[in-house]
Amino acid sequence: MGVRTWIEGWPVYRQLTGTDPLGRGAAAQSPRSRDLSARTGSADSMARSVCPYCAVGCGQRIFVKDGEVVQIEGDPDSPISRGRLCPKGSASKSLVTSDRRVRGVLYRRPFGTDWEELDLDTAMGMIADRVVAARAATWEDADEEGRPLNRTLGIASLGGATLDNEENYLIKKLFTALGALQIENQARI
Amino acid sequence: MAEAHPVGFQYVVEAKNRGATVIHIDPRFTRTSALAHTYVPMRAGADIAFLGGVVNYILSNEKDFREYVVAYTNASMIVGEGFRDTEDLDGLFSGYDPELNVYDQSSWQYEGQSDEGQQEGEAHADRETASGLEQESHGPPVPADVPRDPTLRHPRCVYQILKRHYARYTPEMVERVCGVPPEKFLEVCAAWTRNSGRERTTALVYSVGWTQHSVGVQYIRTGAIIQLLLGNMGRPGGGVMALRGHASIQGSTDIPTLFNLLPGYLPMPHHRQHETFRQWVDAIRHPEQKGFWANAEAYAVSLLKAYFGDAATEQNDWGYGWLPRLTGDHGTYQQVLDMIDGKIKGYFLLGQNPAVGSAHGRAQRLGMANLDWLVVRDLFAIESATFWKDGPEVATGEIVPEQCRTEVFLMPAASHAEKEGTFTQTQRLLQWREKALDPPGDCRSELWFFHHLGRLVRERLAGSTLPRDQAVLRLNWPDEEPSGEDVLREINGYDVATGAALSNFTDLAADGTTACGCWIYSGVFKDGVNQAARRKPGAEQDWVAREWGWAWPSDRRTLYNRASADPEGRPWSERKKYVWWDPAAGEWTGYDVPDFEKTKPPSYRPPEGASGVEAIAGDDAFIMQGDGKGWLYAPSGLIDGPMPTHYEPAESPIGNPLYGQGANPARKRYDRDDNPLNPASPVYPYVFSTSRLTEHHTAGGMSRQLAYLSELQPEMFVEVSPALAAERGLEHHGWAHVITSRAAIEARVLVTDRLRPLRVDGRVIHQIWMPYHWGSSGLVTGDSANDLIGIVLDPNVLIQESKVGTCDIRPGRRPAGADLLAYVEDYRRRAEGHDG
């Protein structure tokens, strides 16, 4: 290492002689920090999304590399949020990537004391069987005066405010056709 | 707003920097208060007294925007002779039935309308089915032509009735009821009125804790009355802005997963009121009245075509006969009580956690412990999935895992990043989300789950000839999995013959040629293009930013924006111009999509006997209302009165200083031993309220599972004033427990002057505050504030009173195990004996 290289490796020298008199940019870089690059730059793809927490509707950009979410940040294009996110929105990468997420079906049998694992298709079939049976057992064709009721009060559902419009549409459509009236969500609460 | 909607609050700060005055009214000093010019502490549950005082200030000082009020509100309309006010009847309006606790509303109506009165039985049915919710976009029935006095002098005109109703809501009364000194109150009145009128507008922003009261709808009505009187509706910078708390809670109201509604605020049929298709449609469109609801038959038929496809024909009334019928209250709280009573077999929870997030947590968990089966779809193992092994009732011995029969399926859900679709945010704006990646493992979207659940149920019922199976077998439910855009196209609506996307709800027909899943969303796929996916950067657009997302209806960003122009169609002022009539072009124009027929001139007057859209005059700015006017007084449609009136919360330490009637007489009650309410008693001497922290989200399912957020707010706590801490011996950072007749919960104590004792009705009232995010699962756990709350509901929308109640607070931790039940019971017994 020559003397000149050694002196130029000294940040104060670069700060005093270079283009960064405040020492907050190039002057302060080490070889390591100079070689760092943003995850957003090396991502394979970016999806334009919306924060899943409150109803302000802040824009999010979700960066994915090698099949993993590597960064979620505010979308500066959004006229609603102008790139900003609150503590919850800023933490939403850890919501998506958390190792606490349930990734397989868990099943608790009646009177059971712990979870068991269950195959997804098996669980779907079991739920469909139970919907059919609950309907059959609690179906009401008509009221006492013969007016139609077409319904079951044996099935209830709660949730929708955190879901997509398209999902709420299918939920309401299917349950209505099944005669299941007792469909509610956070808007009642 | 700074606490729960911080990114939205940036605009308040920006407005403040440009000279706007910011006022914050809240029982507790928050981050919002810290940035406001004026902070007004008040008693929780006294909002109508405060806002009624503002109405009184406006009317007694004639501060209303008279030209706007006469033209655009129902101030000049004459009410029938039979109407009696709460001022005459000590807190009741005319028509009250003390046995059913409901009103016969016929005496509230406009003059000449009384023969169309509503029967008591109907009022009862309306409360049971939360019919008030239909009016989210739906004016209740009134005739188009009503006698008026534009001078506003007639003693029975709405203006004079309003003036008499609020005459006793003086600054002194506001102080007595709310604990707000007159000078502070008058400062708010002066600022609000000074900043409203031709040149200026004031925005009223509330968070939806306002809805969580036994008079919640009337709170918001009072705000709306003020904003109408001051000419702040339909104008830029004005309005009543609800800050809702979930990413698509507006969408799940518009496309309702709610028991009493079908998409677009069409009512779910009632077995007696809507036995036939014709009765149902006429109940929505009210054949004789004004406005766009007159076309409801087209909206209704198009929905049934979307649901049942080719099976919906004119001969079978478009499949109306297959729809299920309401007989009463089937809301979430009735459901929970029915679960406890063993009436419900199966329960789906879709991204919601009632064990922590709903009122009366113990009832929620005991209900879930008495099901045949429970399906929980969530990202994490939330409390509502694990109540059978680690809920508070396991500790008290009320739930024993080996004896709890509920079968539980915890189905892993896809996150917002792992699916495509739209959220509707709090200003009715739909924003499309692109999918970033596939969900991990067996995680699936609701779109996937419900598509396949429907497919599997249809397979099992295939070939059935039972009448009950025909609706689902004939459902328009393709075998292949739909994409989000496929479903959004169906919601938008299409031409049945060609499949082409419709461009607006005005394209809908009642003859079966159009299908539309939600009429108010029609246009979101205009020209076959996903309008909700529009992403022109805000910096490249004007301040209305119309090329970002899509707002219902018809992409209008501000509702009722016809009112931003004067009756002749000219902007009220250059400074506040927004939408106006261009006489040369012969059309409405401006920054926004006009909320009015584009070519109907301001001078248009309807022909004699007109109804529907034709009957809307060129200056009827409120085009969804049956009379085209903004309602200062509601002659029908509200269960608990035509004008907001101060009632005490269902649990209050004081009597009502204004009337003999204490709480809302029409509130929805469930008088059961497992749902006790605190009597007025010195045993429960304090008032409590709850709200959110910036760092957590509702029941914690999306925040207490995350390390960063859990570290930022690690522990349940209770805020008390130094005076209350001294009175009860509470130590900063020590433990305390809070007791009601439902539960006792423990929390760390935060002694802070963010809360201060108030002098109310001649005595000192202490208020305490808690966040409600904690439960028994997650990285950080703690007792749930919602366990403290009983079930009593607003009669219009059946939402619970969970923002105010009475309690006691004591130092130290609560008892554990079975001792906890005995402890709560002992309080209850002492309160009922009034020997506390």
Cα separation, A185 vs B358, whole angstroms? 11
Tokens 């495509």, located at residue:
B420
Write down all domains in chain A, each with its CATH number in brackets.
Answer: 3-35 (no CATH), 39-97 (2.20.25.90), 105-188 (no CATH)
Nearest to B375 by CA among A148, A156, A42: A156
CB nearest A188 (choices: B258, B347, B389): B258
Burial B447-460 (b: 16+ CB within 10 A, else e): bbbbbbbbbbbbee
Question: Quick check: A177 contacting B, CB < 8 Å?
Answer: yes
Structure-block tokens of residue B129:
């089915």
Instruction: Please name the residue of chain A whose CA is at the shortest distance from the CA of residue B475.
Output: A177
3-state secondary structure of B262: strand
Contact B514, B298 (CB under 8 A): yes
Cα separation, B648 vs B677, whole angstroms? 14
Mind listing the pLDDT tens digit for each residue in B316-353?
999 999 999 999 999 999 999 999 999 999 999 999 99
CATH of B332-461, one of 3.40.50.2300, 3.40.50.1820, 3.40.50.740, 3.20.20.70: 3.40.50.740
CB nearest A165 (choices: B255, B389, B438): B255
Cα separation, B239 vs A79, whole angstroms? 19
Write down how long chain B is.
836
Mind listing the pLDDT tens digit for each residue in B498-556?
999 999 999 999 999 999 999 999 999 999 999 999 999 999 999 999 999 999 999 99
Give the DSSP letter of residue B764: E
- pLDDT for B767: 98
pLDDT score of B363 more than 60: yes
- pLDDT for A5: 81
CA–chain centroid gap for A107, Å, is 23
Instruction: Please name the residue of chain A whose CA is at the shortest distance from the CA of residue B345.
Output: A154
Question: Quick check: A183 contacting B, CB < 8 Å?
Answer: yes
- pLDDT for A28: 86
Q: How much is the CA Rg of chain B, to the nearest whole Å?
A: 27
Q: Do A91 and B416 touch (CB under 8 A)?
A: no
More confident residue, B611 or B399: B399
Question: Quick check: A29 contacting B, CB < 8 Å?
Answer: no
Mind listing the pLDDT tens digit for each residue in B299-311?
999 999 999 999 9
pLDDT score of B834 more than 60: no
Cα separation, A189 vs B244, whole angstroms? 11
Cα separation, B204 vs B225, whole angstroms? 11
Write down how long chain A is.
189
Nearest to B502 by CA among B298, B255, B315: B298
Question: Quick check: A26 contacting B, CB < 8 Å?
Answer: no
Q: The dihedral of CA A167, A169, A174, A176: what is its sign?
A: positive
How close is the nearest chain A Cα to the Cα of B795, in Å?
12
Residues 6+ apart with CB under 8 A from B338: A153, B344, B367
Which of A106, A122, A132, A166 should be substituted to probe chain B, the one whose Cβ sees the most B Cβ atoms within 10 Å? Answer: A166
- pLDDT for B522: 98
- At position A180, the amino acid (one-letter code) is A
Average pLDDT, chain B: 96
What does the domain layout of chain B look like in residue ranges? 254-324+482-532, 332-461, 558-629, 668-832
Q: Do A48 and B433 touch (CB under 8 A)?
A: yes
How close is the nearest chain A Cα to the Cα of B445, in Å?
8
Given strand B421-424, what is the order of strands in its sheet?
B421-424, B429-433, B550-551
pLDDT score of B836 more than 50: no
CB nearest B417 (choices: A49, A181, A183): A49
The complex scores an ipTM of 0.97
- pLDDT for A30: 85
Mind listing the pLDDT tens digit for each residue in B621-673?
999 888 899 999 999 889 999 999 999 999 999 999 999 999 999 999 999 99
Nearest to A59 by CA among A46, A50, A68, A69: A50
Cα separation, B715 vs B300, whole angstroms? 50
B290 pLDDT band (50/70/90 cuts)?
A: confident
Question: Quick check: A163 contacting B, CB < 8 Å?
Answer: yes
Nearest to B656 by CA among B625, B688, B629, B680: B680
Q: Do A162 and B403 touch (CB under 8 A)?
A: no
- What is the mean pLDDT of the segment spanning B96-107? 94
Burial B582-599 (b: 16+ CB within 10 A, else e): eeeeeebebbbbbbbbee
- pLDDT for B119: 59
B668-832 folds as Barwin-like endoglucanases (2.40.40)
Nearest to B363 by CA among B819, B88, B743: B743
Which of A163, A171, A176 should be substituted to probe chain B, the one whose Cβ sees the most B Cβ atoms within 10 Å? Answer: A163
Q: Do A161 and B247 touch (CB under 8 A)?
A: yes
Q: Which residues in chain A touch residue B352, judged by CB atoms under 8 angstroms apart?
A: 158-162, 185-186
B118 pLDDT band (50/70/90 cuts)?
A: low
Q: Which residues in chain B touch residue A181, judged by CB atoms under 8 angstroms apart?
A: 259, 268, 324, 326, 330
Instruction: Please name the residue of chain B whose CA is at the shortest distance from the CA of residue A143.
Output: B271
Contact B237, B201 (CB under 8 A): yes
Mind listing the pLDDT tens digit for each residue in A50-71?
999 999 999 999 999 999 999 9
Instruction: Please name the residue of chain B whose CA is at the shortest distance from the CA of residue A148.
Output: B271
Tokens 């006022």, located at residue:
B23
Percent of all residues in chain B with a pLDDT value above 70, rounded to a whole number: 97
Q: Do A154 and B709 touch (CB under 8 A)?
A: no
B120 pLDDT band (50/70/90 cuts)?
A: low
- What is the mean pLDDT of the segment spanning B587-607? 97
Question: Quick check: A70 contacting B, CB < 8 Å?
Answer: no
Nearest to B792 by CA among B647, B677, B660, B653: B677
- pLDDT for B411: 98
More confident residue, A17 or B620: B620
Pairing of strands B792-793, A105-108: unpaired
Q: Do B324 and A181 touch (CB under 8 A)?
A: yes
- pLDDT for A14: 85
Q: Do A167 and B256 touch (CB under 8 A)?
A: no
Question: Quick check: B470 contacting A, CB < 8 Å?
Answer: no
SS3 annotation, B783-829: CCHHHHCCCEECCCCCCECCCCEEEEEEECCCCCCHHHHHHHHHHHH
